[in-house]
Amino acid sequence: MNFPGRVYRGRQGTYLAIYNFFPDVMMAAPTSVADKTQRIAHVQYSEGGKRSGIDVFLLRQEQEIPEINLTRRVITRESVSEEVDVQQDICYKLVKGVNPEVIELIRRDIFRYCKRPATTSLGTKIEYHDKIIPITSLKIIEPKMILTPGKPEFVPSCGLEANIDFSRGCVTGWLPEEGASFDGSTFTNFFLSPWGECTYCYAKPKHKSFPKTIYNIDKLRLKEELLGDCRLTVGSDERLGRPVKVLRFGKRTEAASKYTLDSFVLTLETCAETGTRGVVTTKFLEYSPEIAKLLRKTNSVRLCSAGFDELEPGACEHGCTNDWRIEQAIKYKEAGVNSIIYLLTLAHAPLGKREKRILEVAKQHSLPVQLLPMRFGGKDLCRRVTGDIWGELKDFQQPEFSGRDISHQGTYEQMHQNKELVARIIHPDWLDIIGDNSGLVRMCHHNSKTTWCGNCYLNSGFTIKTPPRSLKTIGGRFKTKGKAKGRKLPFKD
């Protein structure tokens, strides 16, 4: 996700400006320059009736900033009249001791950008603070439809027929700093950090600002949609016309953080009334006896997402490390909930220490495991996680030198409209463990040849060697083979 911004080149320093459409939301420093920046200003201004914000950072070292979509620079030349402050209703918050040229640069930037004067006035001011602390108001929006289409649109064998998210933004990118608080309507000392979201998230480019896009979930309307008044065919207004059997919580965002917990509980309560089963994929859901009771009552599944702390900085900032998540999964299991570990894996590679440790913990606590092979939506992520170059994973070529390791070459292929790399060849370690995919360790994955469906432990899992009719590959053709067979042992000896 690339946010818009500019570099200010002053006489006394160089500064980074990041723009935000919500004036009371403050941006965190981009990861690439976090240790080379200092927050020095937050500004609110208006163009017409729309109020926006700018965060300004002192750049101690100028370099590439891949997280920001930088437009042309703003350079200090002739001064811009202070009348701009009144015209655009500008309010400045600056750190004490900041160079006065920063105000000139901000004023020049706003003057160049704004085409219309402010239509209302909150009053201009310049304030100096020891530290700039954001105070952000919660905003609730009305969703066009509460339920959205599910994975069966692309993988017909998938039983997750409907989805529900409680926000258009993900809480993993809404990070607290020391002394942060939330009183139910106002966040204090939270910063928007899109680069803190899970690195591998396929939905990240579509996320909006978390605290400004939380949905109002009306129970009566939700109940009507669960009973059949929903539209689950992409591009069609056709009603489902029958009750939803399985509802997936959190398709594009984390659904079970404490900031949307009221909507989460309300939805489970409504599912109990409509006979709908839930599948809750979560990194945040803390153990609660009341929620455990609702999960049992609805015969729902709790999927504990177990990934890599290094790739999930936002969740870890909230205290939801992978070790913490597994502790919660164990507590829910002990409370009689259908609690599963949803293990993110590198399917082309053998089991490592991390995977063996998690599988052993699962075995000790009788926790089923559903494997989720990681997909790669970008070359940087691919190289960071696998150590291999995108093209080498995708294409097999005979090496020039016989000593070169080619074990991973050609193990991935590009699929879907966004051309992600998905595992084409699954390492024998994993195939040996899942067997026929109906035991205590299963896999959720599809490529151009095979679909593995663990059924999220709603019922028996299976493997299909004929690819789903709607799947598309980038090059190559589908092939049909017989059903795969393997050991039924849940864990490797």
Q: What is the pLDDT of residues 324-382, one digit of tens each?
A: 999 999 999 999 999 999 999 999 999 999 999 999 999 999 999 999 999 998 888 98
- Is residue 402 scored above 60 in pLDDT? no
Comparing 106-120, 136-150, 178-192, 382-396, the range with the smallest average pLDDT is 382-396
pLDDT the model gives residue 490: 32
The amino acid at residue 413 is E
pLDDT confidence band for 473 (50 / 70 / 90): very low
- Is residue 475 scored above 70 in pLDDT? no
- Is residue 97 scored above 90 in pLDDT? yes
Comparing 189-198, 254-263, 349-358, 457-466, the range with the smallest average pLDDT is 457-466
Give the pLDDT mean for 71-81: 84
3-class SS of residue 142: coil
Contact 53, 25 (CB under 8 A): yes
- Is residue 392 scored above 90 in pLDDT? no
- Alpha carbon distance 400, 406 (integer Å): 11
Contact 65, 16 (CB under 8 A): yes
pLDDT the model gives residue 488: 30
- Alpha carbon distance 326, 365 (integer Å): 11
Those residues whose C-beta lies under 8 Å from the C-beta of residue 412, and which sit 6 or more positions away, are 348, 376, 393, 394, 421, 422, 423, 424
Taken in order 395, 396, 402, 403, the sign of the CA dihedral is positive
Comparing 111-120, 153-162, 346-355, the range with the smallest average pLDDT is 153-162
Give the pLDDT mean for 98-122: 94
pLDDT confidence band for 485 (50 / 70 / 90): very low
Average pLDDT, the chain: 88
Domain boundaries along the sequence of the chain? 3-132, 140-464
376 DSSP assignment: B
Read off the tokens for 207.
């996320």
